[in-house]
Structure formats: structure tokens, C-alpha cells
Amino acid sequence: MLIEVKAKVARIIDGKTRKRTETFVVDKEFFSEAEYAVTEALNNEMNQGEVDNFEIQCLKISQLKEVAAQFDGDDTFIATLKDIWLADDGTEKSLKYKVLLWADDLTQANSHIQQLAREGYDMQIEGIKQVDYEYLRPTDNGTE
């Protein structure tokens, strides 16, 4: 299950402390595991002098259904795919499907999501937006 963890982080940038809210996406079964993973990652950054302090603000089940880890890039995007089908009674049904992916720009993100849409039941692309999320892979926090 993907869990979003929001933390207020005081980062040290160019010798100055700047506070901001950061969103982390963690693939864990329990909220306590997700909180621990983010806490460990931020504690490591504190030990390296990149973070002055932090406070976990919020944990919630993410609306993201998949992390497309096969793509590389400097920027993080969320793409919304829409699957449409006919129900047994003849009515049209749809399901939205959000995917976290990485690309160098919006054009490359669009290309990546078109590839995913073709692989997954020929879904329609409803939208792509750039976000400032950080995905903690299980190996990033030493919990797996």
C-alpha cells in the first residue's frame, strides 16, 4: 500500500535554514512503518548536515495506484489514466488510475505515460502534473 507522509522540514540551503512541507511516498503496510521510514531518511539527512530539524505532520493512504520505477528523470510527475468500459447493463463505467513517474520534462513524461497506457488495457490519459514528491524505495531506508 502506498502511503503519503507530509513532514515540515527545515533544510539547510546555502547556509540558510528554509522550512517547507515535503511529501514522501512510501510503500508500506502500516502507517507506523511509513512514519519510521521517513523519520530514518530525514535523520540520515540531519546527520549529513542537510536538514536542521523536521516534524511529521500527516500520514494518509495515497491515491496513487502505481509507481512507474522503470523511468528515470530529474522531475517527478503524477499521471492520471482513465479506463472506460461497458458494464453488463450497457452503461459506460470508468476508473481513474494515478501513477507516479519520473522524467526530465513534461514531453518525456507524456511519452512515458503513453507507453504505460498502451501496456495497461489501452487506457486514456486524463492529465499529467509535475509534483514535488519524494519516493522512498525500501532500500533507501534500510527497512528491507
Predicted confidence (pLDDT) at residue 120 exceeds the cutoff of 70: no
Residue 82: C-alpha distances to residues 2, 3, 100 (Å): 19, 22, 15
Which has the higher per-residue pLDDT, 144 or 68? 68
The three cell numbers locating residue 132: 514535488
Give yes or no: residues 68 and 51 share one domain.
Answer: no
CATH of the domain at 46: 3.10.20
User: Does residue 141 sit in helix, strand or coil?
Assistant: coil
Q: Which residue has the cell 490519459?
A: 125
Give yes or no: residues 114 and 127 share one domain.
Answer: yes
Domain containing residue 56 = 2-62
pLDDT, tens only, 55-86: 999 999 999 998 987 888 999 999 999 888 88
Tally of domains within the chain = 2
Predicted confidence (pLDDT) at residue 129 exceeds the cutoff of 70: yes
Predicted confidence (pLDDT) at residue 141 exceeds the cutoff of 50: no
Please classify residue 88 by burial: count the beta carbons closer than 10 Å to its beta carbon, then call 0-12 exposed, 13-18 middle and 19+ buried.
exposed
The three cell numbers locating residue 119: 501496456
The answer to whether 117 and 124 are in contact (CB under 8 A) is yes
What type of residue is 50?
Answer: E
Secondary element (H or E) of residue 53? strand 51-61
Identify whether 108 is part of a domain.
yes
pLDDT, tens only, 90-109: 898 888 989 999 999 999 99
Give yes or no: residues 72 and 121 share one domain.
Answer: yes
Q: How confident is the model at residue 110 (pLDDT cuts 50, 70, 90)?
A: very high
